[in-house]
Amino acid sequence: MPVLLSGIGPYKIFFADVNKTAPSNEFESEVINAYIFLLVRRFNAQPKEQAFQIDSYEMTKIWNGNKSKLKVDSTMYKYLIGIVNDHHHWTDVVNK
C-alpha cells in the first residue's frame, strides 16, 4: 500500500517517489510538478509579475502539437511555465 508523505497543491508525493530522486533515477511527474508548483507560488507571492503553471501532462500535449483544453488568459501573467519529459529528459518551457 502506497504511503502518502505530502500533498503539495493538487499533487501527491508518496514514499516511493522520494526513492526516485536518487542519482540515475528519473523523477516522477508528480514530484517535478509539485516542485514547479512551489516555485510558482513563491514567485507569485511578490506583488509585481505573476506566473501560471501548466502541469506536465497538459504541457506534454502542447509540446506534441495536440490541442490543449487549458483555458487561461495569458495576458494576466508575465510567465507561463510548464515542464515536459522528452526522451527521459525534463525540459522547462517558459513563455514570457
Looking at residue 2, its pLDDT comes to 82
Looking at residue 23, its pLDDT comes to 83
Residue 8's DSSP bridge partners are 11
- Rounded to the nearest integer, the mean pLDDT of the chain is 90
Is it the case that residue 1 has pLDDT exceeding 80? no
Provide the whole-model pTM. 0.84
66-92 confidence digits (pLDDT tens): 988 889 998 899 999 999 988 888 899
All structural domains of the chain with their residue ranges: 30-95
Task: Find, among 59, 66, 52, 65, the residue nearest to 85 by Cα.
Answer: 59
